Structure 1
């Protein structure tokens, strides 16, 4: 085992001078690295001997202190500096801090090539590779045993914590906690935050994380403050193939990590990714089974209660049911690739389905749900004896509570709205499902200022769309509105929306002017102009209905 002390005793390095950190002479050297770029510090590994000209230290004491502390957090073995090129000398403040941290600083004599140091050190430590490879195989076998016996993420976290002799937290890509090795550990209790029913790690405390650092797929170290003391925290991205599954966090409370601990992290990362894939596949299978059953029910293929009873389901056939569809529209960044957006959407739907299943289990026992693409489809059971008004209120209240819960769960970069069909007996649910889908179609180009929409409020719109072809609809609204629409377009006026408001308020001048926030005289002027542009008498009842229908057809086709 090559230590810093052994290194200084090697014949080629007898002229090297230890200037600080003598308490760290027993530090083990497991590798060697040249560092002259401050941004490359995240690429360093535990046990490495660092060789540098000191260029990035410059003469700035703050920068010197930050990097000495960072090297200690990473658990580098020693720093070899060649001064007098960029660094005039090794400052006393650096030496004092290195003494305090037991991090040896070694001065390289002028004229010694960095490549010579690297070659000699690598030759010395190469004999240890067989030992390291055997230890790596042992670690791999331990994780294989955990995975083989279905230990799950909790067992992986416990096994990894035992190997590295430090507390471990597993989080997903949104930094929500998946597993913790020790919930009673004070630093873990203090650092994790509760959001709804979910524990999250506040990654915002790390203000200097590299952009998209998880793509590096390499552990980095940052400090975490607790009781006025800073502890190094190793952050290891969990990747498999090109898919990112989350992070491993290791709080270095008991001891610094060694190179063998980093081998354990790499194997743990693989075990976590495989476990996540296994859980995802189980969830997909369960959801597919649920979806296949609901697809048959909602398409009307289940014709009688005997056929329904053949399925192992908790649906109560004595209840009436309402179909609710929650549409989830993610606001992806345009710069994201198609693959990244798809992964992000799949991960979001998985998290929402899992979270909502937990949330509704005890609160809404008569609610059944499954996911399809970017939608959560729900069947809500209600007592048939309830009045129409009470049923409507119960469905509306349930939809609003669920929608609010989902909006508060996780990131806010998404839009959620709910469409609701009629309340019907279980075997007639295909109609309720078609109605909820129909509302989504009618809302396709709508701004969706409201968040919950009942089919009953769109019955007339649906009738017009289903009963009148596009060509017939265009002919109808053109007959009544063509002159008015052309005038608005040519003169940049708003007579068409004024007519709509006037008709909606039953030709009441006072109510219409208040609704449009305009003066009564302004409205009277507009009405007179509108009357001159319409082909029919606005005051006749049959014409007001025809104009309302023309306006509705115009909206549906634009």
Structure 2
């Protein structure tokens, strides 16, 4: 059957469109595809102009234009909502325009007197790219049957454009792969890797800003890395607070279509950070941009993590080398110098912080101030002391003020506490290396403490030997004694008081039957008291004479009232024990003043006698000055102590033997009765017994001792016996 002219025209157009559609698939870029499309239309249809109108960001833009009427492009861009939606859905021709399809674009063609024109939507099943406009200045008759052909052609064009875009993305990926291999290597440092990656991400997506956040596990936050591309006011640190949904912190996570996009950096299902870009130069971020960033992140995440691990290892090695250098410097300080000042100065340099060394009683013995000033030092010492004793010698951290935090660590050696090391740890990350540095500092400090302790122990041994030679009835070699005194810068010929101090353990400690434990407890307490006493008065001579604790104090320290001085000292010692949480009791006997060498032995004897009196009579007071003991001082001068003991036995022996092991203590009953000058009422109240019970005891005492308690002579003899007993019977004090 012979085809008509009309059918031949349709067949020719269909064939041309099919050939054109097949050719479009061959091009790699969208620009080449559209250019071929325009050239094909103009050559076959002999039209006056062809234009490709793209939909971008809710606007129609003239993408490509060829032929006459270029003035039409001056009216673009046009808002999509001002144009007929038919342009994106169906082919529209000049003869199809009605009231419904009239819009800004169709009126433009009418106003410009374009006689013949038609449009072809460029779309496929998923995307709508815009439309193609073909125009003739003169009238050209077209067949309505061409509508379907043009619509199908538009679909083919859309597929070709989509394929071209995918090819472009693939090409970008290949370029990205080449960029990674050319710019990054295993040896690249972390900062260089991040700098190159953000530059590649920024330029590859046309962004004005790109950066990387890396996750800090210790701080539990994302930290902005210093190397960034472009400029933007980004948050330096993003805290992760309980919620670990990444999108809550980066809202544009893998979400195209906006002015930001974030891609996670993942290794073995573990997020190590994110790659973030902002402010695309043209339009919004697309799926293609997202794919490019995902490709980049997948290749560089491992490299970033390796670079970070390498950097950490390198930093760790460098810090270890520095630590070894400081260790050598600290050891050198302990060998060459006897003080702690060199150690605190070196430690302050190591930590770049203030460092303070305390003894075990929280007395600062050396410090190096870095951020503190001397006005703040005392408040810091007071706060540290309170914290240490409340925490019972454990490691602790506390704030000096709102901006500063201090750590305090015990310094131990030989199984005992030697002191405390305090370091300003404001804004410090307490990692394993920092803790290692702390342990090193504590060990070196411990060495210096032990070294000084050995020196002090040697001096103490010499001092004890000297005191044992001084406090004797007859001094063999006075010149030797004077030479010993010179070692301690001590003028023996100035007035001094010799004092004996006794430690009575708490009831709980006394209940143990282990004598060695008791002695160890007393020895520990005495060491602590000695340290405190030397802080209290550096001119005080402290030593041991056998089991007795001796204090020799310059008399000038007492001022005009010796009792006030010793009462204050006694209260200080008692307070120190309470701070330590110890309920042991201290008793002090104070001898008379010395004027010559022989007076030291006499003062020592007086101190022992005064201590005996304190134990038996004044335990609640805790101390006594021999010169103020009244009749005791006269009784002390009895030359023959055996006579005194015979007198005591004659007057009190029967009571002592009767009271031993019995609940009815007649020995104490008589003492209390005599001290109250024979008052039945006062005696019974102090002993907490009934009047009749007291009268029974008094009768029993009179029968045992064969005395009359109403006789002033008998009562005087008994009182003297008790006073002599206080002076000469000392077995209970040192037991």
TM-score of the alignment, normalized to the shorter chain, above 0.5: yes
* Residues 440 and 223 of structure 1, relative CA distance in 2, 3 Å threshold: closer
How much has 1:348 moved relative to structure 2?
A: 0.7
**Paired residue for 2:535, among 355, 375, 383?**
355
Partner of 2:384: 202
Q: Aligned with 1:434: secondary structure?
A: helix
Partner of 1:292: 465
Separation in 1 of the partners of 2:713 and 2:418? 63
Q: Aligned with 1:202: secondary structure?
A: helix
* Residues 6 and 169 of structure 1, relative CA distance in 2, 3 Å threshold: farther
* Residues 479 and 404 of structure 1, relative CA distance in 2, 3 Å threshold: closer
Separation in 2 of the partners of 1:441 and 1:189? 47
* Residues 240 and 207 of structure 1, relative CA distance in 2, 3 Å threshold: closer
Separation in 2 of the partners of 1:138 and 1:539? 86
Partner deviation per Cα, 1:80-106 (whole Å, 9 max, x = no partner)? 99x9xxx8x5389x979xxxxxxxx99
Matches within 5 A, 1:248-397: 248-253=421-426, 256=429, 260-300=433-473, 302-303=475-476, 308-311=481-484, 313=486, 316=491, 321-328=496-503, 341=521, 344-345=524-525, 347-358=527-538, 361=539, 368-370=541-543, 377-380=550-553, 394-397=561-564
Separation in 1 of the partners of 2:599 and 2:521? 37
Residue 529 of structure 2 contacts residue 573 of structure 2 at CA under 8 Å; is this kept in 1?
no
Separation in 1 of the partners of 2:266 and 2:400? 32
Residue 477 of structure 1 contacts residue 553 of structure 1 at CA under 8 Å; is this kept in 2?
no
Separation in 2 of the partners of 1:207 and 1:106? 49
Separation in 1 of the partners of 2:640 and 2:190? 81
How much has 1:139 moved relative to structure 2?
A: 2.0
* Residues 349 and 372 of structure 1, relative CA distance in 2, 3 Å threshold: farther
Q: Aligned with 2:536: secondary structure?
A: helix
Q: How many residue pairs end up in the alignment?
A: 441
CA RMSD of aligned residues (A): 5.7
**Paired residue for 1:530, among 698, 706, 713?**
698
Residue 325 of structure 1 contacts residue 376 of structure 1 at CA under 8 Å; is this kept in 2?
yes
**Paired residue for 1:156, among 303, 322, 343?**
343
* Residues 332 and 266 of structure 1, relative CA distance in 2, 3 Å threshold: farther
- Tell whether 2:724 aligns with 1:543: no
Matches within 5 A, 1:174-253: 174-182=361-369, 185=372, 189-190=375-376, 192-193=378-379, 199-202=381-384, 204=386, 213-214=394-395, 222-224=397-399, 226=401, 228-229=402-403, 231-253=404-426
Residue 614 of structure 2 contacts residue 624 of structure 2 at CA under 8 Å; is this kept in 1?
no
How much has 1:269 moved relative to structure 2?
A: 1.6
How much has 1:323 moved relative to structure 2?
A: 1.5
How much has 1:303 moved relative to structure 2?
A: 4.7
Partner of 2:586: 416
How much has 1:111 moved relative to structure 2?
A: 10
**Paired residue for 2:571, among 404, 428, 434?**
404
* Residues 108 and 245 of structure 1, relative CA distance in 2, 3 Å threshold: farther
Separation in 2 of the partners of 1:242 and 1:546? 55
Residue 361 of structure 2 contacts residue 419 of structure 2 at CA under 8 Å; is this kept in 1?
yes
Partner of 1:46: none
Q: Aligned with 2:340: secondary structure?
A: helix
* Residues 533 and 167 of structure 1, relative CA distance in 2, 3 Å threshold: closer
Residue 541 of structure 2 contacts residue 551 of structure 2 at CA under 8 Å; is this kept in 1?
yes
Residue 420 of structure 1 contacts residue 436 of structure 1 at CA under 8 Å; is this kept in 2?
yes
- Tell whether 2:244 aligns with 1:90: yes
Residue 190 of structure 2 contacts residue 307 of structure 2 at CA under 8 Å; is this kept in 1?
no
Separation in 2 of the partners of 1:272 and 1:290? 26
How much has 1:307 moved relative to structure 2?
A: 5.5
Residue 235 of structure 1 contacts residue 248 of structure 1 at CA under 8 Å; is this kept in 2?
yes
TM-score, normalised with respect to structure 1: 0.59
Matches within 5 A, 1:101-180: 131-150=318-337, 152-180=339-367
Q: Aligned with 1:213: secondary structure?
A: coil
Residue 232 of structure 1 contacts residue 252 of structure 1 at CA under 8 Å; is this kept in 2?
yes
Residue 338 of structure 2 contacts residue 452 of structure 2 at CA under 8 Å; is this kept in 1?
no
Residue 320 of structure 1 contacts residue 426 of structure 1 at CA under 8 Å; is this kept in 2?
no
* Residues 286 and 451 of structure 1, relative CA distance in 2, 3 Å threshold: same
For structure 1, the residue ranges without an aligned partner over 5 or more in a row are 8-21, 28-48, 51-66, 70-77, 97-104, 113-119, 215-219, 362-366, 384-390
Residue 324 of structure 1 contacts residue 418 of structure 1 at CA under 8 Å; is this kept in 2?
yes
Q: Aligned with 1:420: secondary structure?
A: strand
Partner deviation per Cα, 1:473-527 (whole Å, 9 max, x = no partner)? 66753647888x69x968x7x88756544434555x5xx6456659xxx869955
Separation in 1 of the partners of 2:425 and 2:213? 18
Partner deviation per Cα, 1:346-369 (whole Å, 9 max, x = no partner)? 6514422431333xx4xxxxx644
Residue 352 of structure 2 contacts residue 370 of structure 2 at CA under 8 Å; is this kept in 1?
no
Specify the structure having the higher radius of gyration (Cα). Answer: 2
Separation in 1 of the partners of 2:547 and 2:379? 28
Separation in 2 of the partners of 1:496 and 1:302? 40
Residue 157 of structure 1 contacts residue 179 of structure 1 at CA under 8 Å; is this kept in 2?
yes
How much has 1:415 moved relative to structure 2?
A: 3.0
* Residues 279 and 442 of structure 1, relative CA distance in 2, 3 Å threshold: same
Separation in 2 of the partners of 1:250 and 1:146? 19
How much has 1:471 moved relative to structure 2?
A: 10
TM-score, normalised with respect to structure 2: 0.47
Partner deviation per Cα, 1:121-156 (whole Å, 9 max, x = no partner)? 999666776545433321212212333331732222
Separation in 2 of the partners of 1:134 and 1:181? 24
Segment drifting more, 329-338 vs 151-160: 329-338
Partner deviation per Cα, 1:39-70 (whole Å, 9 max, x = no partner)? xxxxxxxxxx56xxxxxxxxxxxxxxxx969x
Q: Aligned with 1:152: secondary structure?
A: coil
Partner of 1:13: none
How much has 1:166 moved relative to structure 2?
A: 1.9
Partner deviation per Cα, 1:291-350 (whole Å, 9 max, x = no partner)? 322221112453576555555535556555532123355669869995995884365144
Residue 589 of structure 2 contacts residue 614 of structure 2 at CA under 8 Å; is this kept in 1?
no
For structure 2, the residue ranges without an aligned partner over 5 or more in a row are 1-187, 195-210, 222-236, 251-263, 272-305
* Residues 540 and 141 of structure 1, relative CA distance in 2, 3 Å threshold: closer
* Residues 326 and 23 of structure 1, relative CA distance in 2, 3 Å threshold: farther
Residue 418 of structure 1 contacts residue 451 of structure 1 at CA under 8 Å; is this kept in 2?
yes
Q: Aligned with 2:537: secondary structure?
A: helix
Residue 480 of structure 1 contacts residue 547 of structure 1 at CA under 8 Å; is this kept in 2?
no
Q: Aligned with 1:235: secondary structure?
A: strand
The higher relative CO (CA closer than 8 Å, separation ≥ 6) is in: 1
